Each structure stands twice: as structure tokens, then as C-alpha cells.
Amino acid sequence: MDLTTLTIKQSHEGLKNGDFTSVDLTKAYLENIKKSDLNAFITVTEELALEQARVADERIALRLRSGQTFGLLCGIPCAIKDNILIEGLNCTASSRILENYVAPYDATVIKKLKEQGVVFLGKANLDDSAMGASGETSIFGATKNPHDRTRVPGGTSSGSVTAVAAGEAAFALGSDTGGSIRQPSSFCGVVGFSPTYGAVSRYGLIAHASSLDQIGPITKNIEDCEIVFEAISGKDKMDATSTDYKFEELGISLKGLKIGVPKEYFAAGIEEEVKKIIKSTIKKAEDAGAEIIEISLPSTEYALACYYIIGPSEISANLARLDGIKYGLSENGKDLLDVYLKSKGHGFGPEIKRRIMLGTYSLSSGYYDAYYKKAQEVRQLVRQDFEKAFSKVDLLFCPVSPFPAFKLGEKLDDPLLMYLADIYTIPLKLAGLPGLSMPAGKTEDGLPVGLQIIGNHFEENKILAVAEEMEKLLT
């Protein structure tokens, strides 16, 4: 039996029945990582993982001897995106400026997983400072798509998604600011979930754009996604934006469900193969009894421009702390300004510099009203579009990306083309809504295409319940 093909639930049953141990499971994943050429991991914590697995085995044995159950995640090996802090381990964000930064504390999601007895295999690769859409801008080299090594896995959670897709982790955590969990999940054929803003604590996540960032799970199937989301969600006193949210399972049928299909997501720009696969998936939902309703999100055409004002503005403010003084890369200089210029000049990559300059300009005197304030007004229009849509329908079905995984290097020199990879994932982030990517099919070239399911605020249970029904129809 290949242990790395098992879902979380299947692994849990195997551990419970004594078919194998957490150490066996962990060794199987570590072996896959060693043999891999995909560059999914920056740091592999083999010694730590095996020790955590031994502790998990002892915990499981003790519970079973006393006739008790143990948590579904106990002894399950995972990968963590390298912008989420694990105490004592490097947390580089794949950036030169944080290359040697060691996390002084655990992120809240890591504390929660540790309480569950999860095994940490290592820190996963990502685009430099979680900025990019392809997985190519990391200072540790590009991650490759496990379905075609000449193509990108998507970004920015490139390593996390690739690790799950390639059998190098049972599940992973990523972060989604504009589409960084859902877009690579679509490109690599796994399940990726960006929860409602505030449903999961951001404490211990290296800040990118604070009003948009959200940690979420990447898994092999919908059931696993639900298990991980339930484990990491909830109120956290260390994050004032987190919400006292309790996930509750929802029994729901596709029959009679009102599914909205935004016409703007099928307009010019989407590749025909992607459109065909998503339309076919929507037809399966209709055949199962769902009512399909075409809706309009008219502000969608402005969402990308709006995001690339608000996001960079927050990046400009957040990355000001990386000045070479308190932590991170520090270059010698003749005075304080020279230290700043050299540290940031050497430490920040081209995409980070591009976004900092765009954000600083948007926030500067004389331009604030014309750019940042106007973008916030457009953001409100995007929110209102979704509010109107959800007054008529239960959920939205649409593509994750207008195209499947593209070739390595294909869009690297054209930032505007690269930004279009997130054109369908960005609008819901501006509105703070939850969205899930799940495998919908493959192109003739064997490239995965993801269906995006969007729900109203804190309706994760509805999204996951419907996704589980869709999974049955698609497999």
C-alpha cells in the first residue's frame, strides 16, 4: 500500500486499526520528498517530523488502551507555507530579506495543529514574499507542476499545493490574498479553500495585505478540507479581525439549490477548453436538480485594477518594517538612510519593489484621493454586487482561472499578463467572501481545471457540503 495516497480520514482509520504507525506514514512522505525534483519544500524538518510522529504514536496508543478516541489529525503529516511561523524554524517567505529569519513564536494555526498532534514535514516554497501568481519568484528557485514539469504550479502557495498534489504531504496550509490558494489548487488538481476574512486567525502569518490575507487548507478531497478548516478556524485574542466562528456541518442536497453563474466570468479572455469543462460541471449540477441562474457582477471588470491599488498600498505599509534594523537582512552603510537603501535594495525582489512603488505612489500626498480612496469606493461596489447576487442565489459557480497552468517563464517578463491569472479569484477577496477550488476536469493536454464555488460570509459549511455533492458527481 502506498501510504501517501491516503486521505486524512483513511490515514486516521489505518492508525486506529494498527495497520501502520504515524512514523510509517511520516517516513513514506519524507521518502517522496527526497526523491522529488519539484522543489516544493524550502526546509524539510525530518528529525522534528519523526519525533512528532513518535509522540503521536504514543498518544494514539495511550488513547486506544483506555478505550478513547483520538483526533482525526493526530499523527497526520503536513506541509506549511513558509510565511507562517513555526517557533524555532526559519520563516523566509522565500525572500532574500528574511532568508535567515528564525520564527520566535508559533502562529495561532500552528498552535492549534500542535494541539491536534499534527506532524510538520517542513516549510513549503512560495513566490517571493507571497507576491506572484506562478511560483517562479522564490529566491530558492521555481516550483514545478507535478502534472507537467515544464509548467508552473501557480502561486503564491506553490509549494504547499505541489506537496499535496505530488504525495509529499497529506495536507498543507497556504495563504490567500488575491487567489494564492485557489489558483495553484486549480492548476495542480487539488482542493484549496480561502475562508471568510476573519474565520481563521492571521496571527503569525507574515503580513502581505492585511485586509485581504487569509490562511486556508489545501487537501486531497473535500472531506479533508472540512477536517482541517474546522481545526484551524475560530476566534483568537491575538487577532482583532478574527471572529467567534464555530463551524457546523450542514446536510444539503443539490436538488432545489439556486446556483448563480456570473456571466462576466465567461466573457472574453477565458480559454475555450476551460469554459467547456466548467460549463459541463455546472450542467452536472443542473442534472442533479440544482436551479442554474445567470447573474451579473458588473464591477468585476474593475476588481483587478482595484486590487492592485489596495494590495500594494497595504504592502507598502507592511513591508516598511523590513528596514535592516530590527530583523531581516542588514547591509552596512555610511548612515541610516544608506543602511535602509542597501538592505531593501538587495533584500527585495523585482515584484516586491514594483508593488511597493505602486502602493507608495497611491498613498502619497496629492494622489491618495485619486487612487487609494477611489479603489476603496470601487471595493464597496464589488461588495454590493455580491450582496445583490446572494439575495437571489445560494452559491456561485465559476472558473478559478481563465486558463490552465502555463509554461515556466511564459509570463515572467510581463506583470500585467501574470496578474490576469487571478482575475476570477480577486473579486471575492475584496468582498471578504469564502471561495473554494475543486478539481473539475482536465484539458486534452492533461492539465487540471478547477471549479470555484463562492459563498456568502461565514457560509463555509454550505460551500463544503455542496462541494462534497459535486465531488461525487465528478468522480
- Domain of 39: which CATH number? 3.90.1300.10
Question: What percent of the chain clears pLDDT 70, i.e. is strictly above it?
Answer: 100
DSSP annotation of 251 reads: -
Which DSSP string do the residues of 297-362 spell out, in sequence order? -TTHHHHHHHHHHHHHHHHHHHGGG-SSSSSS-----SSHHHHHHHHHHHHS-HHHHHHHHHHHHH
Would you state the cell numbers that stand for residue 150, as one nine-digit string?
Answer: 515544464
Domain that holds residue 149: 3-129+137-181+199-207+214-232
pLDDT value at position 245?
84
What's the pTM?
A: 0.97
Residue 289 belongs to some domain of the structure: no
Residue 410's alpha-carbon distances to 28, 188, 238, 285, 418, in angstroms, are 34, 17, 41, 35, 9
Residue 114 belongs to some domain of the structure: yes
- Grouping H, G, I as helix, E, B as strand and the rest as coil, residue 169 is coil
Residue 443 belongs to some domain of the structure: no
Residue 143 belongs to some domain of the structure: yes
pLDDT value at position 251?
86
Q: Residue 246 — very low, low, confident or very high, per pLDDT cuts 50/70/90?
A: confident
pLDDT value at position 318?
95
Q: Residue 173 — very low, low, confident or very high, per pLDDT cuts 50/70/90?
A: very high
Number of domains making up the chain: 1
Residue 146 belongs to some domain of the structure: yes
Residue 8 belongs to some domain of the structure: yes
**pLDDT surpasses 90 at 416:** no
Q: Residue 81 — very low, low, confident or very high, per pLDDT cuts 50/70/90?
A: very high
Backbone angles phi, psi at 145, to 5 degrees: -80, 125
Residue 222 belongs to some domain of the structure: yes
Residue corresponding to grid cell 464589488 = 382
Tell me: the pLDDT tens digits for 345-386? 999 999 999 999 999 999 999 999 999 999 999 999 999 999
Mean of all residue pLDDT scores within the chain = 97
**pLDDT surpasses 90 at 289:** yes
Q: Residue 1 — very low, low, confident or very high, per pLDDT cuts 50/70/90?
A: confident
Q: Residue 268 — very low, low, confident or very high, per pLDDT cuts 50/70/90?
A: confident
Q: What is the C-alpha separation between 180 and 421, in angstroms, rounded?
A: 10
pLDDT value at position 223?
98
Residue 274 belongs to some domain of the structure: no
Residue 388's alpha-carbon distances to 200, 255, 391, 430, in angstroms, are 26, 23, 5, 15
